[in-house]
A and B are shown apart, each in its own frame.
Chain A
Amino acid sequence: MIFILGPTSKLKINDEVIERFRVYRQLESTATEAGGVLMGRFIEDSDDIIIDLITEPTEKDIRKRCFFKKHLETHQDLVDEIWEESDGTFNYLGEWHTHPEKHPSPSFHDRREWKKVLRKTQCESSLLFFFIIGTESIGAWVGNRRNVKINKLEVWNK
């Protein structure tokens, strides 16, 4: 799945990641919200970005029907480990969570939290991404850390 980032750049989510998202969809009325962080590559000689993997819910996370809070230290440790093992080529790219709706859109709470992420995260990328996994589709948003603006990403059709 590919989203348009700019006239010459794309954001791709590799199939393995889509497969993991599929698992966490809130299909049952009792299913709780899941989430984690997005990680991937800034492609050499281009502005393309590939999401190669995600962190998934851990025991210490708080998961409710309509609420998710990841255990920061656990996920930060995972991100650090992957980043180190990849010699700095697999990087933190943003956050994901699920919604029990067909075509997801961010709640007021989500937007406020995303802005906090944009303002306070320390990393070398000016852009961060936010994914919401609905039961039938995936929504993707890009946030700019410089101006703290958030925009929805369009799916790229060949």
Chain B
Amino acid sequence: MGNLQSYFLSFHDAIKLEIDDNKVLREKREELLDVLKENIDFEEGKYDIFHQGSYTMHTGVKPFEDGDYDIDVGLLFNISTVDYPNPVTTKKLVYNALKDDYENTEMKYPCVTVKFEGEDDEDDRNYHVDFTIYSNENIDGQTYLAKGKLGSGSDNRTWEHSDPKELVRTIKENLTDSEDRKQFRRVIRYLKRWKDLKFKSVVNRPSGIGLTVAGLTHFYPHFSYNAFTKIYDDLDALESFVQNMINSFSCRINDDGEWEDRLEVNLPTPPYNDIYEKMTGSQMKNFKLKLESLRDSLKEARDEADPVKACEILQKVFGQDFPVPTKKESAQQRGPAIMVDNSSA
């Protein structure tokens, strides 16, 4: 069934979000960076700006329904954790520079967040920009992420070993063939939209970065050859990616001595932690059930010969942005038929 590919590609066009295509996002980011530069009380040093997050890795999707647009900016300060032992002190430089101009500035544990109300009439979504703050001039040559909130005691704040640039590079440069890479990015985007739809208002839902990193090990490009041209099959690629994730769940004993079926997705860069470590056993169970249901729907769509019906199945999985053709649109046009007289017995 190769003929669902065009519908997947239309779906991809409908959900993909590249920051370069979105003027509002770009302007918000630049505006905040200008304000930061203007107001920051940091005479003694400088910082480098580094764009991270899904838009940079070409895995961004438009927010679903009332979701926010989120923009991630890394600030690499040329300071050492020895000179600045308290990470919150550094985070405060950013927080203080922005809080007077933007009342919705908040210091969260891993970042400083600024929220905006949507201004555009046709798209009144909200935006938020997450600034993550790093110490980038250390004797050991490593980068550390500032974690902690205003007033956090020394137990609740830390400089965490991190390598954000390497993480972005690893994801951006996953797979050597540029067309394979495009399929990787498309499939990640399909899954992220599925996640936004199926885990609506679920606490601790599987994060987009978790699905993206899972793709580094569990995704393989799927295509066939038509002479010298690769014909990509996103449905197959997605189905096998989902199946590989399901197969990688394994049982382990939790702190309460109970068995849990978990999917571990380890960051390929420091601190190498399991991105899904915060999900509870029952959240994991729910995640697996939803993956299994996704796989079953994908199989059902693949086995369905009528693209109209197959796309209806896929629209249930991915939401209204997945197109369903009319019967007319799904068929070839042919000339009239002139029948002959005949009988049966």
Q: Which residues of A contact B (CB under 8 A)?
A: 2, 8, 10-12, 14, 33, 35, 37, 41-46, 48, 50, 52, 62, 66-70, 72, 75-76, 79-80, 83, 86-92, 95, 97, 107, 109-110, 113-114, 116-117, 120-125, 158
Q: Which residues of B contact A (CB under 8 A)?
A: 1-3, 5-6, 303, 305-307, 327-345
Expressed in whole angstroms, the Cα–Cα distance for A12 and B330 within the complex equals: 14
Main secondary structure of the interface of A (DSSP, over half): mixed
> Is A123 within 8 A of B334, CB to CB?
yes
Query: Which single member of A37, A69, A76 contacts B338 (CB below 8 Å)?
Result: A76
B1 — which chain A residues lie within 8 A by C-beta? 46, 48
A120 — which chain B residues lie within 8 A by C-beta? 340
Within the complex, the shortest CB–CB distance from B338 to chain A, in Å, comes to 4
Known contacts: A2-B305, A45-B2, A46-B2. The answer to whether A91 contacts B334 by CB under 8 A is: yes
B303 — which chain A residues lie within 8 A by C-beta? 158
B331 — which chain A residues lie within 8 A by C-beta? 41-44, 50, 86, 89-90
Query: Which single member of B330, B339, B340, B345 contacts A44 (CB below 8 Å)?
Result: B330
> Is A89 within 8 A of B333, CB to CB?
yes
Expressed in whole angstroms, the Cα–Cα distance for A62 and B341 within the complex equals: 12
> Is A121 within 8 A of B328, CB to CB?
no
Query: Which single member of B305, B338, B341 contacts A12 (CB below 8 Å)?
Result: B305
Expressed in whole angstroms, the Cα–Cα distance for A80 and B330 within the complex equals: 20
> Is B344 within 8 A of A33, CB to CB?
yes
Within the complex, the shortest CB–CB distance from A105 to chain B, in Å, comes to 12
Nearest A residue to B332 by beta-carbon distance?
Answer: A42
> Is B344 within 8 A of A50, CB to CB?
no
Expressed in whole angstroms, the Cα–Cα distance for A22 and B234 within the complex equals: 38
> Is B327 within 8 A of A68, CB to CB?
no
B334 — which chain A residues lie within 8 A by C-beta? 42, 88-89, 91, 123-125
> Is B343 within 8 A of A68, CB to CB?
yes
> Is B340 within 8 A of A117, CB to CB?
yes
> Is A107 within 8 A of B339, CB to CB?
no
Nearest B residue to A39 by beta-carbon distance?
Answer: B337
Known contacts: A50-B306, A89-B331. The answer to whether A66 contacts B345 by CB under 8 A is: yes
Nearest A residue to B300 by beta-carbon distance?
Answer: A158
Top 10 nearest A-B pairs (CB, nearest first) are: A41-B331, A92-B337, A123-B337, A12-B305, A89-B331, A69-B343, A88-B333, A97-B344, A46-B3, A109-B345
> Is B305 within 8 A of A50, CB to CB?
yes
Within the complex, the shortest CB–CB distance from B289 to chain A, in Å, comes to 22
> Is A76 within 8 A of B345, CB to CB?
no
Expressed in whole angstroms, the Cα–Cα distance for A46 and B310 within the complex equals: 14
Nearest B residue to A114 by beta-carbon distance?
Answer: B342
Expressed in whole angstroms, the Cα–Cα distance for A95 and B1 within the complex equals: 26
Within the complex, the shortest CB–CB distance from B233 to chain A, in Å, comes to 12
Expressed in whole angstroms, the Cα–Cα distance for A54 and B180 within the complex equals: 44
Query: Which single member of B6, B330, B339, B345 contacts A41 (CB below 8 Å)?
Result: B330
> Is A44 within 8 A of B336, CB to CB?
no
Expressed in whole angstroms, the Cα–Cα distance for A128 and B333 within the complex equals: 17
14 examples of A-B residue contacts, CB within 8 angstroms: A8-B2, A12-B306, A43-B332, A44-B331, A67-B345, A68-B345, A72-B339, A83-B336, A83-B337, A88-B333, A89-B328, A91-B337, A95-B342, A107-B345
Q: Chain A CB within 10 Å — which of B307, B330, B344 has the most?
A: B344
A90 — which chain B residues lie within 8 A by C-beta? 327, 331
A113 — which chain B residues lie within 8 A by C-beta? 342-344
Nearest B residue to A48 by beta-carbon distance?
Answer: B305
Expressed in whole angstroms, the Cα–Cα distance for A2 and B302 within the complex equals: 13
Expressed in whole angstroms, the Cα–Cα distance for A83 and B332 within the complex equals: 12
Within the complex, the shortest CB–CB distance from B257 to chain A, in Å, comes to 42
Within the complex, the shortest CB–CB distance from B195 to chain A, in Å, comes to 27
A97 — which chain B residues lie within 8 A by C-beta? 344
> Is A86 within 8 A of B328, CB to CB?
yes
> Is B2 within 8 A of A72, CB to CB?
no
> Is A79 within 8 A of B339, CB to CB?
yes
